[in-house]
Chains A and B, each alone.
Chain A
Amino acid sequence: DAGVIQSPRHEVTEMGQEVTLRCKPISGHDYLFWYRQTMMRGLELLIYFNNNVPIDDSGMPEDRFSAKMPNASFSTLKIQPSEPRDSAVYFCASTLSPRFRYFGPGTRLTVL
């Protein structure tokens, strides 16, 4: 099994630019989660989907963030416009059982 796949692995962009992060969950998993990790705040849940439907987006920091899951094998997290305070590592995770998480390798985002 290839595990959760995320792309890009690193992204450096300038303030104001649009950023799109991509995730392919483990085949057969019906939950998908987006997390953000920083030194100060640790792992924060941004949004999660069940069967491609957004269930809880209360962790999305503001309207600049949006996430979609058009099918069971693909999800995107978009930031528009990006700001320096968005710099973090963004993880996608998937699972069959909602009590567990299988994380991808993360996307390290730097906004200058």
Chain B
Amino acid sequence: QKEVEQDPGPLSVPEGAIVSLNCTYSNSAFQYFMWYRQYSRKGPELLMYTYSSGNKEDGRFTAQVDKSSKYISLFIRDSQPSDSATYLCAMSPNTDKLIFGTGTRLQVFP
């Protein structure tokens, strides 16, 4: 079993929809949870960062962490075609180690 599991998609939604992206994990030592966005033929870029449990909101993006269920989510409100990208979750214990999910490809069509 992989430490981090992520549905590869693709997920295709109309513009304006609410998008939910999810990851599950098995290592209870993970404390730091991140979402990276990767546009086609580009490097991943840090989108959201959360420490431990709870929610964090940044504009149209909300990150949620449920440590009891070992489940993290990224919600995108009012999705735009410019949100079309691959979204990778990543998580870390309190060390240098950072484990990435394989990414979910999102397509937002006009």
Contacts and interface: CB of A to CB of B under 8 A. Distances in A.
Given A55-B96, A100-B49, A42 B102 contact: yes
Q: Name the interface size band of chain B.
A: 20 to 34
B46 A100 contact: yes
Contacts, number: 47
Nearest to A31: B96
Tier of interface size on chain A = 20 to 34
A103 interface: yes
B96 A98 contact: yes
Contacts of B32: 99
Interface in A27-75: 31, 41-43, 45, 48, 50, 55-56
A93 B42 CA distance: 13
In order of increasing CB-CB distance, the 7 nearest A-B pairs are A103-B43, A42-B102, A98-B96, A43-B100, A99-B32, A103-B44, A99-B92
Interface of A: 4, 31, 41-43, 45, 48, 50, 55-56, 91, 93, 98-106, 108
Given A45-B98, A93-B43, A106-B43, 20 more contacts: A41-B102, A42-B100, A42-B101, A42-B103, A43-B44, A43-B100, A43-B103, A50-B96, A55-B96, A56-B96, A98-B98, A99-B32, A99-B34, A101-B44, A102-B46, A103-B44, A103-B45, A104-B43, A106-B42, A108-B41
